[in-house]
Structure 1
Amino acid sequence: MNTAVTPRITQFLNFYNALSSANMQSLANIYHNDVVFIDPVHEIHGRDALSQYFANAYARLQHCDFTALDKMEQEQQGFISWRMQFCHPAIGNGKSIHVDGCSVLRWQDGLIKYHRDYYDLNEMVYQHLPVIGWLTTKVKQRMAKSA
């Protein structure tokens, strides 16, 4: 691993561990104005739209913390696998939820221009909802039996 660029991944992780509804303006410190952000639910273009997305996502979030599992950087791109622990009153009755995922990052002019997150939406949301959680568990059990 190239230690000369490692601080960008560390900066990224520190940014997310400090992010809250009170400091959305800090997005300008890490994201390019023309950023493309993709996750299993959204594709967002531009830092203003990303700021609005995060403001909505973090409005009721009680806690969110990321732990790095693995990371790699090479020139203008990087990868980090992470474990997120969060609490949200609308998901799982506010209990602590763990989700494993990873982020693919590309930088331009020292700022993140491309950010794509991969994670299991069922693990994050669906399995913690009463009817949908039961249904997704049954589907997974059935698929496991047929494999």
Structure 2
Amino acid sequence: MEVIQRFCKIYTDICKISTDDLASIYATDVLFIDPITTHQGLTEVKSYFNNLLEQAESCKFDIADIFLCARDDLSNSRVTHIANWTMKLVLKGSEKVITLDGTTQLGVSNNMIVYHKDYYDLGEMVYEHVPVLGFIIKKIKGRLAR
């Protein structure tokens, strides 16, 4: 099974994997970047996911598209694939579903992911769910949309 297929399978429901499963898709020296922070190496990525698994009741990704940008054996480009997705996250102790659209740039080399960079609206994921702050951010977005 190709690494992109393994990636899609693992991300179907992050809460149903163990952090050891991440070694089947991420290289030891993977660079993993999201809007919150950067993780260098598989050990840091496992730690990041361990924290997520402790806080999440459910974290499912519907990967709508995977686009091939460059073949890993023919390109010097860091990005070889683009994935568009919708995440549905439920935190422990909450019944509220946080739905978030995003995009991930992936770099594949030797059938392992060596580069992973997520793009999503951090405000939509975090800030809009803080009671007073969420109200203010939604009002600002509404004004800017006019």
Q: Scaled by the length of structure 1, what TM-score is found? A: 0.85
Check if 1:72 corresponds to 2:75. Answer: no
Count of residues in Structure 1 that have an aligned counterpart in Structure 2: 138
Deviation of the 1:22 alpha carbon: 5.7
Q: Residue 112 of structure 1 aligns to which amino acid in structure 2?
A: I
Contact 2:10 2:17 survives alignment (8 Å): no
Q: Scaled by the length of structure 2, what TM-score is found? A: 0.85
Between the aligned partners of 2:44 and 2:30, the Cα distance in structure 1 is: 9
Gap runs ≥5 in structure 2:
73-79
Q: Residue 84 of structure 2 aligns to which amino acid in structure 1?
A: S
Instruction: Report runs of 4+ in structure 1 exceeding 6 Å deviation.
Output: none
Between the aligned partners of 2:110 and 2:71, the Cα distance in structure 1 is: 12
Question: Which of 15, 18, 32 is residue 20 of structure 1 equivalent to?
Answer: 15
Question: Which of 49, 74, 87 is residue 90 of structure 2 equivalent to?
Answer: 87
Q: Superposed, which structure 2 residues align to 1:39-78 within 5 Å? A: 39-73=34-68, 74-76=70-72, 77-78=80-81
Say if 1:84 and 1:22 are closer, same or farther in 2 by CA, change over 3 A.
closer
Bigger CA drift: 15-24 or 96-105? 15-24
Give identity over the alignment, percent. Answer: 34
